[in-house]
Amino acid sequence: MTEFDKYIRQGEPDQKEKAAAWQVAIGLQDVDGLKPSEYLIQTAQQHIEGDISIDEVKHLIDTYYQSKSSRGEIENERTEEADKVSARITELFSEKTFSFTPDYLLYIHKRLFEGLYKHAGQIRNYNITKKEWVLDGDTVIYSDYEMIRPTLEYDFAQEKSTDYPAMNAEQALQRIGKFISGVWQIHAFGEGNTRTIAVFLMKYLKTFGFKVDNDIFKKHSWYFRNALVRANYNNYTKGVSANTKYLEIFLRNMLFGEENNLSNREMNINFSQSAIQRAKMAL
């Protein structure tokens, strides 16, 4: 996404803010292996430069895909999803609004995926499993669909009662990590959970006054998802326990400006300490 780097380095404050939002929005598509089109990149640049509004961006993207659909030229519907969701995330980041409720989480999902998923903004009504590369094909145990709403309400109530002013920055980071990984494990939606959680998290962090390093999500959104997976996976027969350390170092980089190595490979449950030593010796 070097197309936006020049605005972040040399642009006016408004251009820097818009470029950073676009970088995160596009980077988040990596969690589902999606890539934006060149048309989206060009349209985003027009928005960053102030030539068009975010509403015009969304209209242009919609028109672009309507035109391709009428001519039977859509090659990859997931590219359309990446483009539209990127624009919608950017729009949400530009809005100085937030509500710490489960309904706001559902609202974000609806805003991101309306017209793309039939279930946009709706709690799933079936149970799910997902094969994870980082778990060698195994799945996290997600919430039973009948328990999603009460579990969400419980987690939000517990978080809302947390006395953050009494905590130091390290304790606050650990608590936020625990909360957000718990909400992710519920997996309220059939699809689009990680992108929804990421948008919610970034807007939530800003209510604390944290200055979020957008570059982390731009480069490491897949690491973020894998860290959430590892924070919610137990398999005692394989000697694997739920581990929040990967999520915590991601948050430390994002909030404290640390430069911890964010390696997806090291999160794989089959990556042993001996493999780490061999990797170091090879350097």
Final residue of a structural domain among 49, 72, 95: 95
Same domain, 200 and 155: yes
CA angle 77, 111, 157 (to 5 degrees): 130
* 120 torsion bin: left (phi>0), alpha (psi -120 to 50), beta (else): beta
CA angle 239, 226, 172 (to 5 degrees): 95
- Residues 182-234 have pLDDT tens digits of 999 999 999 999 999 999 999 999 998 888 887 888 889 999 999 999 999 99
Same domain, 115 and 67: no
Its pTM stands at 0.91
Q: How many domains does the chain have?
A: 2
CATH number where 274 lies: 1.10.3290.10
User: Quick check: 272 pLDDT over 70?
Assistant: no
Structure-token pair, residue 183: 């909400």
- Are the C-beta atoms of 36 and 79 separated by less than 8 Å? yes
Same domain, 180 and 56: no
Domain limits at 40? 1-95
Same domain, 121 and 25: no
- Residues 112-149 have pLDDT tens digits of 999 999 999 999 999 999 999 999 999 999 999 999 99
- Are the C-beta atoms of 79 and 34 separated by less than 8 Å? yes
Same domain, 186 and 277: yes
Residue 280, judged by CB atoms within 10 A of its CB (0-12, 13-18, 19+), counts as exposed
Element (DSSP H or E) covering residue 224: helix 214-230
- pLDDT interval class at 70 (50, 70, 90): low
